[in-house]
């Protein structure tokens, strides 16, 4: 059996302690990549690594708060010092504190922008500097269909994901002459614990009804899209992948 195209690939996955990030980290490691699994919850990362190790996968935990730019820069430095390069970054870390504007708080909006936008930008900024010098690399940013279709109940979250898309497209154009690719993955409803953080009862009920009316995506489904983008030939850049549950209409 031929080796996977990702054998020996060095990747950093943020938000790897749960949800989409955990699914992406697991899939990449299973496909032969060396995964630096980063998140704030060190205990969850250790559990992930222990689960992967018996199957011969290579993953290491890295405690990281992406809202701290100094820690982010140190993380990228540590990865490069350990492995000599960084081939990709998959920005999965994010929070969804959805609520209608009247029930939302500015503090929750601030938290979402600090993580979903500025944290993602900090990781991309540090990784992009290395990738330009290497003249190779791939940044994958997990966005959402909410960036395209903002619905009542999630104006702040939708705004953060729209910002991710805009930032990513600008970064893609800057990276193209340096052989650095940028991909946005925009999933619809994915069954994760992110729905546990919804801020008000009306929004929780709305998402509950949507989940009951369909078979949602899984983190593994999103991970498959990430792997597709990362395994394209060097001359092929996948700018964006939008994936939804078949039954999702909104």
Catalytic residue among 62, 109, 157, 195: 157
Torsion, CA 194, CA 186, CA 219, CA 188, rounded to 10: 70
Closest by CA to 138, choosing from 174, 98, 182, is: 182
Residue 234 has a CB neighbour count (10 Å cut-off) of 9
* 62 is a catalytic site residue: no
Query: Can you list the alpha helix ranges (DSSP code H) found in the chain?
Result: 19-30, 42-52, 69-83, 106-112, 120-134, 155-175, 201-212, 219-230
Alpha-carbon Rg for the chain, nearest whole angstrom, is: 17
Phi/psi at 149 (5° precision): -135, 90
The catalytic residues are: 157
């Amino acid at each position: 059996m031929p080796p996977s195209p990702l054998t020996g690939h060095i990747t950093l996955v943020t938000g790897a302690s749960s949800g989409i990030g955990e699914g992406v980290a697991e899939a990449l490691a299973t496909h032969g990549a060396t995964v630096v699994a980063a998140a704030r919850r060190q205990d969850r990362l250790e559990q992930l690594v222990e689960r992967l190790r018996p199957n011969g996968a290579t993953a290491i935990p890295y405690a990281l708060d992406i809202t701290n730019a100094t820690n982010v820069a140190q993380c990228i430095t540590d990865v490069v010092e350990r492995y000599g390069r960084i081939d990709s970054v998959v920005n999965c870390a994010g929070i969804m504190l959805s609520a209608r504007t009247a029930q939302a708080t500015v503090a929750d909006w601030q938290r979402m922008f600090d993580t979903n936008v500025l944290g993602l930008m900090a990781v991309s900024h540090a990784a992009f500097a290395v990738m330009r010098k290497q003249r190779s690399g791939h940044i994958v940013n997990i966005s959402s269909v909410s960036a395209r279709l903002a619905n009542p109940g999630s104006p702040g979250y939708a705004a953060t994901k729209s910002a991710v898309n805009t930032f990513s497209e600008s970064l893609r154009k800057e990276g193209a002459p340096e052989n650095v690719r940028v991909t946005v993955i925009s999933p619809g409803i994915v069954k994760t614990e992110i729905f546990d953080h919804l801020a008000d009862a009306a929004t929780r009920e709305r998402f509950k009804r949507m989940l009951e009316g369909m078979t949602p995506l899984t983190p593994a489904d999103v991970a498959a899209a990430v792997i597709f983008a990362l395994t394209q030939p060097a001359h092929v850049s996948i700018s964006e992948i939008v994936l939804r549950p078949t039954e999702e209409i909104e």
